[in-house]
Amino acid sequence: MARALAADPPILLMDEPFGSVDPLNRERLQRSFLDIQRTLKKTVLFVTHDVSEALIMGDRILLMREGRMVRSGTPREMVFGEGDAFSKAFFGAEMALKLLSRHQAREACVIGEGQEAPGYVIPGSMPLSDALAMMLVKGCGRLWVTREGEAPGVLDFDGLMTFFREGEANGR
């Protein structure tokens, strides 16, 4: 990836770049790559056969079958939009949780002033999918979110649902 970026191309083609990486390192590399992409503002054509990876990495997704385009759209459109049986098999309801992994806790939390501090603390960089999992595992509906250089915030289940319905729909 570093060699490809060093040439400073206007568009970068990446064909299964994380395909042979173990799951833990794969997720870390994906997040690092997204940070680099946001910083450099590069257009990337990313080829993958992993639907979860497409939902995490893509701003727009193109689903193909036998070399033909079946459907395209944003990750949200692919999960919630209309589609034929083939595309519905790829983007089932369980994929809605993958949409949460596109965002970090700092994006959905509210400043915690005047609220009782919850018992568990998470970093603002934690993916919302992990924050939801922590709420379920710990049996709590609120988490304290640390945010670098900013006042801490609180993420609660209702706020998470509001963000999911409104924030994700607004492209946040």
Q: What is the secondary structure of 30-65 as a DSSP string?
A: HHHHHHHHHHHT-EEEEE-S-HHHHHHH-SSEEEEE
Tens-place pLDDT, residues 63-91: 999 999 999 999 988 988 888 889 888 88
CA-to-CA distance for 100 and 52, rounded, in angstroms?
11
In this prediction the pTM is 0.72
- What is the dotted CATH code of the domain comprising 105-167? 3.10.580.10
What's 104's DSSP letter?
Answer: B
Tens-place pLDDT, residues 52-66: 889 889 999 999 999
What superfamily would CATH give domain 2-95?
P-loop containing nucleotide triphosphate hydrolases (3.40.50.300)
Q: Where are the domains of the chain?
A: 2-95, 105-167
The answer to whether the CB of 99 falls within 8 A of the CB of 74 is: no
pLDDT for residue 37 is more than 70: yes
